[in-house]
Structure 1
Amino acid sequence: MSSNDILTLSQSVLGADLSESECKALLDISKKRNLQKEDILFKEGDSDEQLYVVVSGKIDVIKNLGAKDETIMATLTAGSLAGELSFIDGEPHSMTLRSRKDSEVIILNRSDFEGLITTQPHAVYNVMRAIVRASHKLQRDLNTRFMEMNRFVTNQYM
């Protein structure tokens, strides 16, 4: 991986607390994947135990509502994390991720990451902390959306 990759990772949600050498250690066990417009990164219900860091492009987070009905819940951009909960708990993905335009992601496999526990424990701690921080932000955002929708619906019937 290049020095650009180290910089990209260090500027992402995942790498915010990592040193340059810790970013390099993560990149050494990571892969990159290029996505074309409309490519599926993963589908709802898939299990892959991988963490994704968006390097470039835009990736839609899609909730399937039926046979031909779906809604875009969010759009991920450079620096965003994806698949973090499945990475931690091994449960299937709850949404589908589809590239809105040509995109690139860094992929970290959980079993490779667990191998860093003995050699890079501080990096492992910081990655897990970053995942919790990202999940906490997502929860706050969803709570805010819920409150706004609740207020809107309540005001409609007053």
Structure 2
Amino acid sequence: MSLTEEVEALRNITLFSSLDESKLKLLAFTSEWITYQADEVLCKEGEKGEDAYVIMEGDVDIYVDSGDGQLLVTSHGAGEIVGETAIVCDVPRTATVVARNELVVLKITKDVFMQLLEGCPEVAIAVIRELALRVNDGVRMALRGSG
């Protein structure tokens, strides 16, 4: 994929849609495009989080260890980001992310991701909003499970 095609693909991701051309080019240049096959693991719960993944094509399933095995908690698809919680909160991975089908992701290192957040308030706000929504969803699931 050419740099121009990568920039266009990034522009179509809601999280990055407000970035100007130069920032999109920098993001495309400093990140790695990776293809995973179905059932391949992107990251495991408990590992140190060094990268975030923007899903460009395909879907992932998110699992947590329930004590009795892996529990599917949610799924994400194209245009969504996974792995950012460990980076932003500086904690070990909170879940295991597994490719549900053939998957193309943009792997963004912690340093690049943090520079992006520091230099682009609109991206930082979008990430904070996404994290807050995930916490809210988790609380609702916990309340349903306890009642």
TM band (smaller chain): 0.7 to 0.9
For residues 104-123 of structure 1, the C-alpha deviation after alignment (integer angstroms, 9 at most, x for no partner) is 11011122345668xxx643
The structure whose Rg is larger is 1
2:122 pairs, out of 106, 120, 126, with 126
Letter of the structure 1 residue corresponding to residue 13 of structure 2 = S
Unpaired segments ≥5 residues, structure 2: none
**Distance 1:111-1:61 versus aligned 2 partners, 3 A rule:** same
- Corresponding residue of 1:96: 96
Would you identify which runs of 4 or more consecutive aligned residues in structure 1 move more than 6 Å? Answer: none
Letter of the structure 2 residue corresponding to residue 71 of structure 1 = L
Unpaired segments ≥5 residues, structure 1: 154-158
- Corresponding residue of 1:156: none
Matched-pair contact (CA < 8 Å) for 2:3–2:29: no
**Distance 1:66-1:140 versus aligned 2 partners, 3 A rule:** closer
**Distance 1:116-1:71 versus aligned 2 partners, 3 A rule:** closer
For residues 76-132 of structure 1, the C-alpha deviation after alignment (integer angstroms, 9 at most, x for no partner) is 100111111111233110110011111011011122345668xxx643x33322211
For residues 13-61 of structure 1, the C-alpha deviation after alignment (integer angstroms, 9 at most, x for no partner) is 4213222322222111111111001000000011132111001111100
- Corresponding residue of 2:15: 14
Matched-pair contact (CA < 8 Å) for 1:8–1:79: no
- Identical pairs, percent: 23
Query: 1:144, CA displacement in angstroms?
Result: 4.0
User: RMSD between aligned alpha carbons?
Assistant: 2.4
Matched-pair contact (CA < 8 Å) for 1:14–1:53: no
Query: 1:133, CA displacement in angstroms?
Result: 1.7
Number of aligned pairs?
146
